[in-house]
Every structure is written in C-alpha cells, then in structure tokens.
Structure 1
Amino acid sequence: MSATLFTGGMIWTGREETGALLVVDGVVAAIGDDARGHDAETVDLEGGFLMPSFGDGHAHPLYGGLEAVGPAVRQATTVDEIVLAVKQFAEANPDEEWIVGASYDGSLAEGGLFDARWLDAAVSDRPVVLRAWDYHTVWCNSVALERAGITAETPDPVLGEIPHRPDGSVLGTLREWGAVDLVMDVMPPRDEQQRIDALGTAADYYLAHGVTWVQDAWVEPADVATYVEAARRDVLRMRFNLALYADPRHFDSQITEFAAQRRLVEEVGNPLLTAQTVKFFADGVVENETGALLQPYCTGLHEHSGMQNWEGDSLAEAARRVDELGLQIHIHAIGDAAVRQALDAIEYVVVQNPARDRRPVIAHCQLVDDADLARFADLGVIPNMQPLWAQLDALMTVLTIPRLGAERADRQYPINTLDTSGAPLSFGSDWPVSSGAPLDGIAVATSRRTADGSPEGGWTPHEVLPIERALSAYTSGVANQAFAEHVWGNLAPGASADMVWLQHDPRATAPLDLPTMGVRATYLRGVPMYQARD
C-alpha cells in the first residue's frame, strides 16, 4: 500500500477548503482531520494550493505535438519571419520531401490571404504547406499547389474555397476542408513513430500546465491507429478521449466504422484511452467568413452569411444515427446560425431516440442568438467554451470585429450568461489553435481583458465569470463532459487523485497575474507526472 499525506497549504477539493488530504494507492482516502494520523509519506505544499487537475474539453493534442516537428512559425510576428523560419528549416532538413508546419498567425496578411510566391522565395524546389492558427486554412507554395493539381481553372470544391489573385491565378491560401484536402490527400503520411512521439510532446505540454485529461476533438482513422499503438506500448501519460470525425461528404460510409474504431480502443484495454465521442463541424470560423451567421457579414463584395457544412436536416439525422450507437455528440459551432442548427439537431435526437444520459456538447459558441440561450439548459447541452478567445486582441480587432460589426461583436462568448442560465458549462483551449494553459484562459474568463490590461474594466464585463466558477468549468465541468464526475474533477474520498499543485491560491490572485503562476506539480492517480524544477 502506498499512502501520501498532502498538507502545509490550502487544499480546494472543488467544493470546500481543507488543510489535509490523504491519498492511498492513487485514490483520495480522506480529507481534513480524517486524513491525519496515518502512516504516510508527507508532501509539504509549502503554502501553495492543491486542487483537482484541469481537463481540456476541446483540443487537438496530436496536431499540437506535431507542430514541434516542422518549421517554427508559431511565434512569428510578420510574414517575413514566417518565410525566414521556413527557409532555415528547409536548409537544415534537406531530405524532407515536404516542408509541413503550423500554425501561423492569420492576421499577419490582409484578409488572412497569404501568397504562394512569398513561400516560393524561401523554398522553390519542394512543397511547403503551413496550417494557419485556426486549422481551417492552409498556405502553400507553388510546388504544393502543382502537386495537388490546383490551377486557375480548378473550381471551388464542396465545403472549400480557393482564393485567386486579381489576374485569376491561384493565390496560395486554401480555406476549409474541401480545399485543404486537395493538398492533404497528396502529402505523404507522417512517420508513425514521429506521431507517437508527438503525443508525448503534447503530454509534456499539458502536464506542465496542470492538465490530466483532454478531449481530442478531431480524430480520423489513422489517428485512432496512432493512439491505439501508443496505448498498446503503454506510453500514454495522461487521459485522452477521442472524438471521431464525421464528414458530411462521407458520413454514410463513416457511420459503419465508428463502432469498430471504438472497439479498437476498448480492446487495447488501457484506462487512459477512450473513444466515446463523434465530432461534427457545423460551420467554419468567422475570420475567414466561413462561420455560419443568421445575418450577413459586414465585409466582402457580395452579401453572404458563411458556410453551413451540413445541408437541410442532414446534421440532425447524422446526429441521431451517432446517438443510436451510444456515442456522444460533439458539434463545432461558431456562428449563431450554426449554434441554432446544432441545438435543433440535438433537440431532434432527444425527441427521436429513447431517453439516456447523452451529454451532448456544442463547442465554441462564439455567437448565440438571444432566442437560443435558454435552450442549452433545457436540452442538457454542454457549452464547451474557449475563454481565452473572449478578449480584444489583434485577432479580434483585425479580423473578427470588422466582419461582424460592433453591435454583433459585443455579443460574442456569452460565458457568464450561459453559466447562470443553468447550462452545464465546460472549458477547453482548442490547443494548438491557442494556448492550452488553463490559467491563461481563466485569466480572460475572469477579466475579459488582454494581457496588457485592455480595456480597463473588461470587454463586455457582464460576461466576466467568478473565479471559482471558472476553475470549476476547467475541472468538474470537463469531468461532467467526460462522464467522469465520479472518477476525477473533484477531490472527494474515492476519487482518483488527479491533482495540480499551484504556487498560489488563484482565487486570491489578480486575473492578469494568473498566467505567470507556477505549476509546482501535476498528479495522475497520485503519481507526480510533472514536477517543477527548483
């Protein structure tokens, strides 16, 4: 028997404060006075703060890990810096057949439109493919376009857009799946060991930020195989749940494979890996005007309201079929039209299928029409929101607000409104789209301000979330989404000792100081999976 007593600091169980917590064989055995007086190793919290570890309810860990394999474009602040990073990587890796990287800042070029010729100046003899921060857009050089067979005469594919220059030639930016897949389909697959290593890179990142469970919100068959092999080798170091990607172009064939993919995961028998979810994309993103809106965008030569990926009642019917398999519904919905379509689909499922504990999720919820706000609680829909996005940063001011207009922009990310409505709120990061550090997101959730404190008093301050509610949304809220509220997310006797030890009490810390708070250690089932160096 292994027993550890945590004491010497503040312990927040998710429901109450205490000064002592006893862990026996990876499980919380007792709290408070009941935890003392046992033969146990002692961990002195040194005045720090112990709480349930964080979960991430919507992210892309495999993609995040793979970013470290390609050119370092994430931190570039100009187009020239991106091009230089690509050039240096190509020179250092002369045997790489394709130069593949992510994820560049889409606000660095007007309208988010990047020219292939800029990358040609860095690499002209091999294909270059870079994903934008949103993962809905790629930027290619001319060789990559040629390999994909994309010419001036190539029509926009279903669910995709190929922007052109004024002279009619292909620009080099591809938007949404239909266009992006033209290039992805001719790229050689990544080496499997490289992909498994990327899961390790992702785990390193998450554990250092106090996260022990993550929803991989976009998993295709090759990704399932990678996770299963990693689980078989017993190299997973945190909990993962897989959301199998539902593509409206191929759904009828996919639906027959979902149960088989879930069985593959179950047969490997690793408790750190599950596959209980299916991911739908109802729309795209506002920044490239593919988010689906109830009213038209404010920019562009022609009025349009974005792109709905599932036509008519097809999303509702697809969701019903997924629900019949006992799988959880997880829908990406950015615009208010997409959110309404997602809610309508879930309502259809509730009416058509027998009652069960289904916990459907709508991720992002950037814009929600007033008429739809109460429907989340009424239908038991989990709004999984990315609090870091609720700030007036360059992405918001340069790309988003001009497309939405000021009045509509001020209705974005109704986090507090949904929480107080009774909706079962959970948080996620969408990493590597944005920071996967929960404290970064919580800082914005509790202030609606940028890192430099702008604006004073917060943007749309009525949507500021109290700190304990923000912490709960990133812990017990995600555990509820994961059907794991009796396993982790709170530190109650019988729960897994999944915990994070923070340097200070975040409830007594100014929001703008939260991102710099140190994570002292992260525990999974009582075992320290990350420990800060002194």
Structure 2
Amino acid sequence: MKKQLLTSLFGLCALTAYASPDTIVINADVYTVDPILPRVEAFAIEQGKFSSLGSNEDILALADNDTHVIDAQGHTVTPGFIDAHQHFNGAQTSLNLYVDSHAKWAELIQKEHESLPKGAWMNGGGWDHTIIDDVLPTREFLDNIVGDRPTVLRHIDGHFVWVNTAVLELANITADTPVPEGGEIVLDPDTGKPTGILKESAMRLIRDLQPPLTVEQRAQNLPKLIHWANSIGITGMHNMSTHEEFLKVLETGDLNLRVWHGYFDVFNSMENLDERVKEVQALQNSIRRQVANTGKQKELGPLFDLGFVKLGNDGVLSVHTAVLLESYKDRNNWNGEWIRTPEDLKTKASAFAKGGFQIAIHSIGDAAVRASLDALEEANQYDVSLPHRIEHVELLNLEDLPRFADLNIVASMTPNHMTKAVAYIEERIEPKRESEAYLWQSLMNSGAKVIFGADASTSTHQDPLKQIGDAIFRTNHSGFNNGQPWHGEQSVTFAQALYAYTQGPASTTTWSDEIGSISVGKWADFVLIDGKISEPLTNDIYQRKVQMTYLAGREVYNANNDN
C-alpha cells in the first residue's frame, strides 16, 4: 500500500495543473508492464496521459463530480497492444480461404465468383495447402470454377500466389518466361507448363496487371479497418506497407492508431542505392513535416513516423524457399533460394544504416538468419540510435543464438507462425534440428529482446490475445501433433508474451518513453478485457475478447456500441 500511495503521489506531482482526473479506472486487474509497479487496482488519466496508479481507495480519492469513472468489475486491463509486424493498408481483401478441404475452397471461391460483376478481378488469400495434403493447387482447379475471370489468391504465408489461366495469359507467362532473381514459376513435371503457382519475386510478373486503388479509395477504406484493429485491442503497429492513406486519414479525420512505418525495400534492386537512401531520407522528412503540420500529436501523442527500412533475404518454410544451412528433409539437395545474396544484403543494410535508418530483415531459415546477423553486425558500425531487427527467425543455429544479445539485435517473431507450422515442420527439417526452431524462450533467456506481431494475413488469427495464447501453449489449431504442445520448453509466460506485445515493440522505437506500459506520464493507451485473465493461463485466453480500447485517454472501441 505504501508503494502504491507513493506512486499516486508522484502522479499528482507530475500533473498538478488540474484539480481532478478526466477519467479513472477502478476495480481492475491491471497488468501495467511497468516493473516499478507491475500490478495495480486502479489508475487515473489527465489530458490523455496516465497521471496516477494505485489502489481503488487512492484513485477514487482523486476524483470529483466531473470525473468519468470506468468500473472494470474485476476484469483485466493491459496496455494497448502494439503489433510488431504488420502489412496493413486500405486495399485489403475480404476473401479468406483458410479452410481444411478442397471442397471448402471451391465453395468459398464459387460464392465470391457469383458476387462479383462480370469482368472484375477476384482477389483473396489465406489458403494453406499444408493443412490439407501439402500439395500445391493448380490453375485448372480455379479455371473450373471462375472460367476466364482473372483470379489471384495469395497463400497464407504471403510469399506465393495461386492464379488461373486467364492471369497467366494476360501476363504472357509461359515455361520460358524469365524469372526475377529469387523467384520461381512452378511447372507441371508432366506437361512442363506453368501450374499457376508463382513464388516470391515471380509474383512481380503479375503486379501491374490490375489498376491499384487510388490513395483516396484506400483512405476511404482505412478507418473501418483501423476500427477492426481497435476492436482486438491494437493501438499501435510496426507497419510495412503503403503510407499515403494513413497520412490522408490523419489530416482529414482521426487516426486511431500509432504507426511506426517501415519503408519496404525487399525486392528493390541494388542499382542507385545511394540515391535511394537519399530519397527515403527525403520521404522521412516530408512525412514528419506533414504529421507535425496537423498539430494532432500535441493532444494525442506520436501517431505516425517513417522509422525503419524493411529488407529481406529468403522466403518461407512451407514452400521450401526459406534458406537453410542443411538441405530440406523432404527435398534432397535443396537449401532454398536467396532473395538477396549475403554480400548484397550487407551492402544494402550498411547503406541504409549509414543513412541513419533502423533496419529490419525478413529471415526465416537458419542460413538466412546467419546472413542477416552478419549484415547487421557490419551495419552496427554506423551510429543508429535504435536496435536493428530480424523478422521471424523461425530456424536458428544454436551457435548464432547468443549473437542477438551480443549485437543488440531484436528478434521480431510471430507465435501463430509456429503453431501453424506444426502441420509441416517435421516434414521440412530433420528431428535433430527441431530444437533449433521457434526459440522464443531460449532467446529471452540469452538476454535478447523478443517482440511479437501477427504478420497480417499470414496468421490464422491477428488477435493479440490469441497470439499470446499461441506463445504460451504452442499447440496447432487444426489438430496436428495430436493437439499437444510442440517443444513446450520454448513456451513463454503470460508476462513475457504481454511485454512482447506492448512495451517490447515500443522500446524498439523512439516512442519508448511515451507508450507501451501503464506508467505515469505515458499516453493512456489501454485495453479492458471482457473478463479476468487467470494465472496460470488456461485455454480461456482464446475465448477472451476486448471490451474497450482507449488511445490517449479517448475511447476508440466499445463492444457495447459496436454494430
């Protein structure tokens, strides 16, 4: 009690200009993610910031008749979730094919086909062959349903697409079409013709066929999508996608989301690299001026910044494009294929680091992770104030594990990637290597910083509470491994997972002292859950939902008001 009272008094001293809080939350089970005071019953908010933490008695004593009181009724409250890896924009599609049979694929595709006007393209994604038969589908499957309607369906991993014959013909793709480096046009072994699967950079062959949505169209769609993110408790994200629609919404309305934006440079060539670094610097300065000119950050805190550059060097395990130190168990003499060679990656990472940018590199296979560690070790010679990152780190040679902490490199990982991969991981790697897969707890124990994000539609669920459940239970949702934890020794605790979804991502940005925890002086981003999260955690975490979400002390989602 004494410690709580001192914290409350500190809060009062910190913000003395106001007689009473604007809002208080009482009768709550609060996880602050602040080591000074990790659990409290109540807190107060003034001018959009947490002003005091403590017991119900302490906080109620601060209120007056004008104070808005939220009675949490014993439910759990956490900081607003910060998704550390997203590809979020105003052009996202709604057709989701994450189902467990070909018949269900056909049913959903047929329904979408019938809903579209003649001549319109069909776009969708989420399909996953590994939970059905681990055999890639063909264009003929689509042709039999949609005919000549151009159809592009992205795999749940996001690194390859399934298209029909109409798209191949529009793009003039044949067995003889030159393939961009790091890509593959999958050919039928019997006919020698394209099957309709385009891997990695081969997807660029169809990229310009469809006219993209305008900035105005994307901006019109974005608020609804942000509201959905708020409905699952997300108040911030590290986003690697387009940026223009976010700035448009910020200028013309309310951007109810804090976006740490990553410039996407995965597939750009090595040519004119120095000029591109200057262009990205200019873009960063332009964005900062545009955000500052709105004047909204004074009342709401940080809202948008171009904070890092996204690179990449390999693909994914599901389709054998992640680069491994040893060949795939189910594909002899094949180690994957580089999207960016180790030497080119070093050159690129160092160029952007020299330009002052934080670097994030997509690396899934253990060879790719090693190459990224090498590249970032070289990039560390340049004075960048923020730690560099490696995204995914699904296979990690144990010799490389201590390098994350030693080099101050963040491991940005997706719990659902692991639980999803249980369907195929034992087919891809030898049993002796299983102890090197998805090493969340080992990385944390080594002193490395681990942060979590959903990686957009590459996850079967983007809800942070469900991702936290995956990090703790490590079980597949389709029944693989008999529903048992896969290498449960790498499970994390609820406290560790919550940190990786809140303060962890915040601490890799320039906003570390402003968001990420329920602490006096930070912006009041928080989530009220629809019940109490008990420890030890049970599978109830998968049924828990967000009741309310607040950003800078403002309600941005309330389940009671949601239609």
Q: TM-score with structure 1 length normalisation? A: 0.92
Equivalent residue number for residue 439 of structure 1? 465
Task: Give 1:50 deviation, angstroms.
Answer: 1.5
8 Å CA contact retained: 1:446, 1:511: no
8 Å CA contact retained: 2:171, 2:209: yes
8 Å CA contact retained: 1:419, 1:425: yes
Q: Distance in 1 between matches of 2:267 and 2:474?
A: 35
Q: Distance in 2 between matches of 1:451 and 1:144?
A: 33
Task: Give 1:319 deviation, angstroms.
Answer: 0.8
- Out of 248, 260, 269, the position equivalent to 1:250 is 269
Task: Give 1:405 deviation, angstroms.
Answer: 2.6
- Out of 409, 416, 426, the position equivalent to 1:381 is 409
2:264 matched to 1:240?
no
Q: Distance in 2 between matches of 1:385 and 1:285?
A: 14
8 Å CA contact retained: 2:97, 2:108: no
1:153–1:451 distance in 2 versus 1, CA, 3 Å: closer
Cα deviation 1:206-255 (Å, max 9, x = unaligned)? 211111001113x3xxx233333233323422111211111354243443
Equivalent residue number for residue 209 of structure 1? 232
Letter in 2 for 1:297: Y
Task: Give 1:109 deviation, angstroms.
Answer: 6.2
Equivalent residue number for residue 416 of structure 1? 441
1:216–1:198 distance in 2 versus 1, CA, 3 Å: farther
1:447–1:455 distance in 2 versus 1, CA, 3 Å: farther
Task: Give 1:369 deviation, angstroms.
Answer: 0.6
Quote the RMSD (CA, aligned, Å). Answer: 2.2
SS at structure 1 position matched to 2:436: coil
1:114–1:345 distance in 2 versus 1, CA, 3 Å: same
Cα deviation 1:108-164 (Å, max 9, x = unaligned)? 665442211111112222211111111111011101001111012224331210111
- Out of 245, 248, 255, the position equivalent to 1:226 is 245
Task: Give 1:77 deviation, angstroms.
Answer: 2.8
Q: Which moved more, 1:248-257 or 1:37-46?
A: 248-257
Cα deviation 1:464-484 (Å, max 9, x = unaligned)? 112111111111111112332
Q: Distance in 2 between matches of 1:98 and 1:233?
A: 30
Letter in 2 for 1:364: H
Equivalent residue number for residue 50 of structure 1? 77
Letter in 2 for 1:405: E
Letter in 2 for 1:250: S
Q: TM-score with structure 2 length normalisation? A: 0.87
Task: Give 1:260 deviation, angstroms.
Answer: 2.6
- Out of 98, 121, 128, the position equivalent to 2:144 is 121
Task: Give 1:508 deviation, angstroms.
Answer: 2.2
Equivalent residue number for residue 176 of structure 1? 200
1:520–1:485 distance in 2 versus 1, CA, 3 Å: same
8 Å CA contact retained: 1:231, 1:268: no
Cα deviation 1:160-194 (Å, max 9, x = unaligned)? 101111111111111002x1010112222124444
2:549 matched to 1:522?
yes
8 Å CA contact retained: 2:148, 2:165: no
Equivalences for 1:508-519 in 2 at 5 Å? 508=535, 510-519=537-546
2:25 matched to 1:6?
yes
Equivalent residue number for residue 84 of structure 1? 107
Task: Give 1:456 deviation, angstroms.
Answer: 7.3
- Out of 296, 303, 307, the position equivalent to 1:276 is 307
- Out of 42, 48, 51, the position equivalent to 1:20 is 42
Q: Distance in 1 between matches of 2:485 and 2:413?
A: 18
SS at structure 2 position matched to 1:359: coil
2:51 matched to 1:29?
yes
Cα deviation 1:498-522 (Å, max 9, x = unaligned)? 0011133435263321011121111
2:431 matched to 1:406?
yes
Q: Distance in 2 between matches of 1:258 and 1:106?
A: 38
Cα deviation 1:357-406 (Å, max 9, x = unaligned)? 22111111101111111111111111111112333x5x432x33211133
Q: Distance in 2 between matches of 1:186 and 1:495?
A: 46
1:347–1:255 distance in 2 versus 1, CA, 3 Å: same
Equivalent residue number for residue 158 of structure 1? 181
Give % identity: 28
Equivalent residue number for residue 450 of structure 1? 476
2:486 matched to 1:462?
no
1:47–1:108 distance in 2 versus 1, CA, 3 Å: closer
Q: Distance in 2 between matches of 1:446 and 1:110?
A: 28
Q: Distance in 1 between matches of 2:341 and 2:196?
A: 28
1:458–1:145 distance in 2 versus 1, CA, 3 Å: same
Q: Distance in 2 between matches of 1:418 and 1:73?
A: 33
8 Å CA contact retained: 1:106, 1:133: no
Equivalent residue number for residue 328 of structure 1? 358
Q: Distance in 2 between matches of 1:144 and 1:457?
A: 41
| Structure 2 unaligned spans of 5+ | 1-17, 295-301
SS at structure 2 position matched to 1:517: coil
2:342 matched to 1:318?
no
Length, aligned pairs only: 519
SS at structure 2 position matched to 1:199: helix
Equivalent residue number for residue 518 of structure 2? 491
Q: Distance in 2 between matches of 1:452 and 1:114?
A: 20
- Out of 108, 125, 137, the position equivalent to 2:160 is 137
SS at structure 2 position matched to 1:172: strand
Letter in 1 for 2:476: T
8 Å CA contact retained: 2:422, 2:476: no
1:132–1:198 distance in 2 versus 1, CA, 3 Å: farther
Q: Distance in 1 between matches of 2:458 and 2:152?
A: 17
Equivalent residue number for residue 377 of structure 2? 347
- Out of 356, 360, 363, the position equivalent to 2:388 is 360
2:60 matched to 1:60?
no
Q: Distance in 2 between matches of 1:96 and 1:216?
A: 32
Task: Give 1:73 deviation, angstroms.
Answer: 3.3
Cα deviation 1:65-94 (Å, max 9, x = unaligned)? 6122xxx23343323332333333233221
8 Å CA contact retained: 1:115, 1:171: yes
Equivalent residue number for residue 338 of structure 1? 368
Letter in 1 for 2:47: D
2:427 matched to 1:427?
no
Task: Give 1:455 deviation, angstroms.
Answer: 5.5
Letter in 1 for 2:78: M
